Amino acid sequence: MKLLSIASTIICTFQLASADWQYRSRSDLAPPRLNITISAEGTSPGYLFVAPFSGFPDVGNSHGPRQAAPYIFTDKGELVWSGFSYFSIWATNFQAGRVNGENVLFSFEGSHNPGYGHGHGHITFLDENYETVKELRAGNHKIIDKHEFHIIDEKTGLVQIYQPVPYDLSPYGASKKQQWVVNAIFQELDIETGKVLFEWSSLDHVSPYESVLPINEGQAGAGFNSSDAWDYFHINSVDKDKEGNYLLSARDAAALYKIDGKTGEVIWKLGGLPGITTSDFKSEKNLTFSFQHHARYLRTSEDGSKQIISFFDNSAHGTENKNGKQVSYNSASSGKIVEVDTKNKKATLLFNGVAPYGLLAKSQGSTQVLPNGHVLVNWGSEGAITEFDSEENPIFHAFVDSGSLGEHAENYRAFKFNWTGTPHESIAVASYVTDGGSNIYVSWNGDTRTEEWEVFSVDSNGDKNKVSTAKRSGFETKIHLPGEIYETVVVQAFDKNRKFLGESAQVKIQDEILPYREAEVETFVDDLQPVLSWKQTYFDWRKLSF
Ligand SMILES: *[C@@H]1O[C@H](CO)[C@@H](O)[C@H](O)[C@H]1NC(C)=O
Ligand SMILES: *[C@@H]1O[C@H](CO)[C@@H](O)[C@H](O)[C@H]1NC(C)=O
Ligand SMILES: *[C@@H]1O[C@H](CO)[C@@H](O)[C@H](O)[C@H]1NC(C)=O
Ligand SMILES: *[C@@H]1O[C@H](CO)[C@@H](O)[C@H](O)[C@H]1NC(C)=O
């Protein structure tokens, strides 16, 4: 008896992978329910790509998604694909991309150390059937970290590596016992062969003096041993432009660096904190940023003297003033677009998408400029996503899970992509007796083509008889068939041109005995509106003359 009650306590406390009965055809799935708080007309076409997970599950029963995994959603909050069980261990930075002409999904997959913000693993690629087609590891006997994988020209991949090394840290305020530092490394890999085409290491080019993260006892990264190495630079993104030069976001230097693609030398540094960081540019007053993520080149002028870049400005850090407390420089995080003018040594803020609800992300985050000029910003540790139109208005906002599960949900990066999925998983069907009729539930995890379902009853000879045609609605379609109880059914899928796509297994009808509550399965859409307190200046950076 005693043992049993301990077991049930454990089960109640860790409801991690338990099914939540959102979908009767997929009682194995318990995806996060997006809490959509802003939902205006005119969002960009495309699906949302996220990988929500539980941050620190240490308060009450708030613990993030039941099934932390990569997911594809519509911006109405409908599930398109649950990647739960597709990746082992922990997965993040989930995206769609193209490699050598093929559409792929990819994600970091590996172990995760949330306290230090590091991961160890590899990049896993899936094809349009959601089958694993490749894994990519770093070269030169190093281990890929979770922060970056970025495809260049469909051929190469940029990855970064945290490599702890012993180092004399006494000039930076460390005691004799603190002698481990993180060498922040990035590599450009040939995706096909895994060959290292370029490798760069921070200690060869950037002095620890450029860090804005002091080396202190009592905070993550105090240098006492290799797992506690001082993370003085912390590369969290790498991009490459047409000229072959790299762009780094170095969180713990609160700066962006442009790196020569041949020599590895620093071409310029854009520091985010005037008076604290050094910078090769004079920044306009409204351009302070810090502890940023996800810097991307957007455009380069013909003569190369001006570049437009985007990044996520956290303006907050979790562990790191002298007492190991949170520090912040702006009152909310933001997605930024900045013009860097190397001729006039000037940096100008062109777009500033400020977090609704004053969200301040002390870790993680991303900013994706969409083809139509909208900007999708992901608020990292705050577990939320916003789509801004090109005038900085939030037109979509969602927290990545709901209720108590939403309280500790975090999400490293979020993207919007077009995607066609042709799953090898089969069509899932559940069928229930209801008031002398049948209720059929049908879904197809990851399929993006089905427009119509056809339901057939199967008689004792195995002959099929069509009993209904129904439009697909969302992830799971409920088809109510009054007046008849069909003992066995199969369901077929058709695309918009009435092309046959697939057929489910034969499914027997069951009695309706399950504790199913409709109210719990709706996606939450609150009418809560954000406070529009920031300045609404319209500056369309796309209309610039180059
Ligand atoms: C490394 O140092 C930290 C900080 O002093 C300590 O908490 C941790 O236990 C040490 N780890 C190992 C493996 O010695
Ligand atoms: C930032 O300030 C500069 C100079 O005053 C101005 O040109 C720019 O439009 C401002 N940016 C934003 C996004 O408000
Ligand atoms: C959705 O988010 C809002 C804002 O944080 C919160 O007030 C509300 O309770 C959330 N709703 C659900 C169902 O989680
Ligand atoms: C998706 O495709 C449409 C049509 O080609 C395009 O307008 C849109 O920008 C694409 N969306 C994304 C997020 O790339």
Helix H, strand E, coil C: the string for 211-270 is CCCCCCCCCCCCCCCHHHCECCCCEEEEEECCCCCEEEEEHHHCEEEEECCCCCCEEEEE
Which residue lies with its CA nearest to atom 6 of ligand 4?
45
Cα distance between residue 362 and residue 526, in whole Å: 25
Domain containing 499 — which CATH number? 2.60.40.10
Q: How far is the CA of 412 from the centre of ligand 1 (A)?
A: 26
Q: Is residue 44 part of a domain?
A: yes
DSSP state of 10: H
Domain presence at residue 545: no
Give the model's pLDDT for residue 21: 79
State the pLDDT confidence band at 508, using cuts at 50, 70 and 90.
Answer: very high
> Is 541 contained in some domain?
no
CB 225 less than 6 A from any atom of ligand 1:
yes
Count Cβ atoms below 10 Å from residue 41 Cβ, excluding itself: 5
Sheet of 346-354, strand order? 282-283, 346-354, 334-341, 306-313, 293-300
* Within a domain: 278: yes
Confidence of residue 277 (pLDDT cuts 50, 70, 90): very high
Give yes or no for a contact between 374 and 351, defined as CB atoms under 8 angstroms apart.
no
- Structural domain ending residue among the three candidates 365, 383, 417: 417
Same domain, 257 and 349: yes
Residue 518: exposure state from Cβ atoms within 10 A (0-12, 13-18, ≥19): exposed
Say yes or no: 438 and 413 in one domain: no
The answer to whether the CB of 224 is under 6 A from ligand 1 is yes
Nearest to 17 by CA among 49, 48, 53, 50: 53
| Nearest residue by C-alpha to atom 2 in ligand 3 | 35
In this structure, are 93 and 162 located in the same domain?
yes
Does any ligand 1 atom lie closer than 6 A to the CB of residue 255? no
**Cα–ligand 1 centroid distance for 178 (angstroms):** 11
What residues contact 277, with CB distance under 8 A and at least 6 apart? 210, 212, 253, 254, 255, 271
Q: pLDDT for 296-355, tens place per residue?
A: 999 999 999 999 999 999 999 987 665 667 888 999 999 999 999 999 999 999 999 999
Confidence band for 60, pLDDT divided at 50, 70 and 90: low
413 in the same domain as 298? yes
Kindly report the CATH number assigned to the domain that includes residue 273: 2.120.10.30
445's tokens: 């995890």
**Shared domain check, 397 and 307:** yes
Residue 537 Cβ < 6 Å to ligand 2: yes
- For residues 393 and 498, state if they share a domain: no
Determine the pLDDT at residue 529: 36
> Which residue puts its alpha carbon closest to atom 13 of ligand 1?
227
Q: Is residue 423 part of a domain?
A: no
Contact call for residues 161 and 176 (beta carbons, < 8 A)? no
Q: Which of these three, 380, 398, 417, is where a domain ends? A: 417
- What are the DSSP calls for 370-400, one per residue? -TTS-EEEE-GGG-EEEEE-TTS-EEEEEES
- Ligand 2: which atom is nearest the Cα of residue 392? 13
Span 252-275, average pLDDT: 97
Do 469 and 332 reside in the same domain of the chain? no
Does pLDDT of 523 surpass 80?
no
Of the candidates 413, 450, 430, the one whose C-alpha atom is nearest the C-alpha of residue 512 is 430
**Could you tell me if 409 and 436 lie in one domain?**
no
- Asked whether 290 and 254 are in contact (CB, 8 A), the reply is yes
What span, in angstroms and rounded, lies between the C-alpha atoms of 51 and 385? Answer: 12
Instruction: Show the ligand 3 pocket: residues with CB < 6 angstroms.
Output: 35, 37, 399, 402-403, 406, 524, 526, 528
Question: Per-residue confidence at 55, pLDDT binned at 50, 70, 90?
Answer: confident
Is the residue at 92 inside a domain?
yes
| Residues β-bridged to residue 352 | 336
In angstroms, how far is the first alpha carbon of the chain from the final one? 75
User: With contact defined as beta carbons under 8 Å apart, do 470 and 453 qualify?
Assistant: yes
479 & 365 share domain: no
- Neighbouring-strand partners of residue 340: 307, 347
Integer CA distances (angstroms), 232 to 128, 159, 394, 539, in order: 40, 18, 34, 35
**Residues 389, 438 share a domain:** no
Query: What is the 3-state secondary structure of 102-148?
Result: EEEEEEEEEEEECCCCEEEEEEEEECCCCCEEEEECCCCCCCECCCC
Q: What is the mean pLDDT of residues 253-276?
A: 97
Residue 440 pLDDT > 60: yes
- pTM of structure: 0.92
3 state SS for 445-476 = CCCCCCCEEEEEEECCCCCEEEEEEEECCCCE
Question: What rounded mean pLDDT belongs to the chain?
Answer: 89
Is the distance from CB of 43 to CB of 396 less than 8 angstroms? yes
Q: Whose CA is nearest to atom 7 of ligand 2?
A: 348
Domain boundary among 373, 394, 417: 417
Who contacts 362 (Cβ-Cβ below 8 Å, separation ≥6)? 291, 314, 316, 317, 318, 326, 328, 380, 381
Tell me, rounded to whole angstroms, the distance of Cα 149 from its chain centroid. Answer: 12
Are 138 and 263 in the same domain?
A: yes
Please indicate whether residue 129, judged by its CB atom, sits closer than 6 Å to ligand 4: no
Q: Which ligand is nearest to the CA of 164?
A: 1
Q: Give the residue from 452, 459, 334, 465 showing the smallest Cα distance to 388.
A: 334
Task: Say how far apart CA 162 and CA 151 lie, in whole Å.
Answer: 20
Q: What is the mean pLDDT of residues 351-368?
A: 97
Cα–Cα distances (Å) from 433 to 27, 247, 440, 512, in that order, read 17, 60, 9, 6
- For position 216, what pLDDT does the model report? 83
Ligand 1 contact via 451 beta carbon (within 6 Å): no
pLDDT digit string, tens, across residues 182-201: 999 999 999 999 999 999 99
CA distance 505 to 508: 10
How many domains does the structure of the chain reveal?
2
Ligand nearest to the CA of 62: 3
529 Rama class: left (phi>0) / alpha (psi -120 to 50) / beta: beta
Q: State yes or no: pLDDT of 235 exceeds 50.
A: yes
Q: What is the spatial distance between Cα 373 and Cα 359, in angstroms, rounded to a whole number?
A: 23
In a domain, 9, yes or no: no
Strand partners, 38: 397
User: How confident is the model over 486-496, as pLDDT tens digits?
Assistant: 999 999 999 99
pLDDT digits (tens, 9 = 90+) for 152-181: 999 999 999 999 999 999 999 899 999 999
Same domain? For 255 and 301 the reply is: yes
Residue 158, domain extent: 35-320+327-417
For residues 420-443, b (16+ Cβ closer than 10 Å) or e, as one string? ebebebebbbbbbeeeeebbbbbb
